[in-house]
Amino acid sequence: MAGADLELVGITKRFPGFTAIENLDLVIPAGSFFALLGPSGCGKTTTLRLVAGLEDPTAGRILIGGKDVTQTKPFQRPVNTVFQSYALFPHMTVLENVAFGLRRRRVSDPIAKAHDALRLVELDHLAARRPQQLSGGQQQRVALARAVVNEPALLLLDEPLGALDLKLRRQMQLELKTIQTEVGLTFVHVTHDQEEAMTMADTVAVMNRGRIEQLGAPEELYELPKTAFVANFLGQSNLFTGEVIESAGDTIAVDVAGSRIVVPKSRAARHSGTVTVGVRPEKLSLLTTRPASTAAQNVIGAGRVIDVSFSGVSTQYIVEIPALGSMIVFAQNMVFGPVVDRGAEVWLSWTVDHGFGLEDLPDATAEQSPDDLQPLHATHTGSAAAGSTKISA
């Protein structure tokens, strides 16, 4: 019943004209909920299809529960997939769809087991319907039941929530997580939705250009991103690039266009040369008067608020600071409405401990998250990126 380890060893996949995955090594422990997160075209779906056996790797090995399955056909692998399109068989009832895998493996009493699986996703009352008579969310749950019922060593989810509206998606995220805990299978979830990856998975691997940029628990990835891509793809970041001017005790100080920014050594990947440091927008405090400089705080400013957007829980401010570029600030709405208006002169400060130092320098093309993924934030992320490149130039 319990899932099995998945191990990818040196996997490379080339298609005519491009390389989808480059020398990928990955171990997913049994029983975990693992998310592969990345923008479209980063190779995450290809990785999933390789594990399912729907594609053959150009090089490398795939092991499930320690057994090499690289050369086996999809129907020989103890793996089931919940497809992005669900791919429910239109000529069968919901029940027959769910019983399909059981029948193929000659499992005894497939109908009763299929009913059990449908009860798990709370759709047993629709067992006699055809898939096309169900709503998108219901179809998604049937697809899940059809995969889970086989008790595979690995359950692969290929953006299964992509076609659902936001509310339903949130609800399904919770349900999926509950089901994973209940059945105890290893789930590998592919998504481009960073929020989805963070809320559902125990471990998130951020993929970009066929490589894994960073792997870890969601909090770890968010609080301490290692690369500019992760810093900008997983949430948003304010990034600064400059020379390390001081490396004393347990902190380093970076000179960014005249401003001094201090980062703990333990949270910085590199301690000398030109480095990029950053801070998350919600860690910033917006101040209308210049604060007193202390060792525990970084202060930048003065800058001007160029945009204020109210989003209910919080308000997002874009602050243009001369020589540093645009900064994003998220402030909780503790009072009614925004605390400052557009055009106001402000200073930004944050606790030194909240800063992080990256391994790489931002590269204009890599950190842009595709616009279609997060239309609300895309432009702001873009301007922050533009801001940080301006500094490094």
Contacts with another protein by CB under 8 A lie at 52-54, 73-75, 79-81, 83, 85, 87-91, 100-101, 104-105, 130, 146, 150
Indicate the residue among 88 and 221 with the shorter CB distance to another protein: 88
Q: How far is the CB of 338 from another protein (least distance, A)?
A: 48
Q: How far is the CB of 107 from another protein (least distance, A)?
A: 10
Indicate the residue among 80 and 251 with the shorter CB distance to another protein: 80
Question: How many angstroms from the chain centroid is the CA of residue 172?
Answer: 17
Smallest Cα–Cα separation from 63: which of 27, 32, 33, 31? 27
Q: How far is the CB of 110 from another protein (least distance, A)?
A: 12
Tell me the backbone φ, ψ of residue 148, rounded to 5 degrees.
-65, -35
Smallest Cα–Cα separation from 327: which of 297, 350, 358, 356? 350
User: How far apart (Å, rounded) are the C-alpha atoms in residues 358 and 221?
Assistant: 12
Indicate the residue among 83 and 233 with the shorter CB distance to another protein: 83
Indicate the residue among 100 and 350 with the shorter CB distance to another protein: 100
Q: State how beta strands 211-216 and 238-248 pair.
A: unpaired
Q: How far is the CB of 84 from another protein (least distance, A)?
A: 9
Q: How far is the CB of 101 from another protein (least distance, A)?
A: 4
Helices (H), the chain: 44-52, 94-104, 110-120, 136-148, 166-183, 194-200, 218-223, 228-233, 375-392
Indicate the residue among 80 and 298 with the shorter CB distance to another protein: 80
**Interhelix angle 136-148/110-120, nearest 10 degrees:** 130
Indicate the residue among 54 and 269 with the shorter CB distance to another protein: 54
Indicate the residue among 133 and 293 with the shorter CB distance to another protein: 133
Tokens, residue 168: 């339903």
Question: Cis omega before residue 295 (within 30°)?
Answer: no
Indicate the residue among 81 and 389 with the shorter CB distance to another protein: 81
User: Could you tell me the sign of the dihedral formed by the alpha carbons of 121, 122, 127, 131, in that order?
Assistant: negative
**CA Rg value for the chain:** 24
Smallest Cα–Cα separation from 170: which of 158, 161, 183, 182? 161
Q: How far is the CB of 55 from another protein (least distance, A)?
A: 10
Where are any strands of DSSP class E within 199-344? 203-208, 211-216, 238-248, 251-256, 259-264, 274-279, 285-287, 297-310, 314-321, 325-332
Q: How far is the CB of 353 from another protein (least distance, A)?
A: 47
CA distances from 252 to 280, 351, 361 (A): 18, 14, 17
Indicate the residue among 121 and 328 with the shorter CB distance to another protein: 121
Tokens, residue 216: 């870890």
User: How far apart (Å, rounded) are the C-alpha atoms in residues 378 and 371?
Assistant: 5
Q: How far is the CB of 28 from another protein (least distance, A)?
A: 18
Q: How far is the CB of 207 from another protein (least distance, A)?
A: 22
Q: How far is the CB of 367 from another protein (least distance, A)?
A: 33
Indicate the residue among 132 and 365 with the shorter CB distance to another protein: 132
**Residues pairing with 103 in the sheet:** none
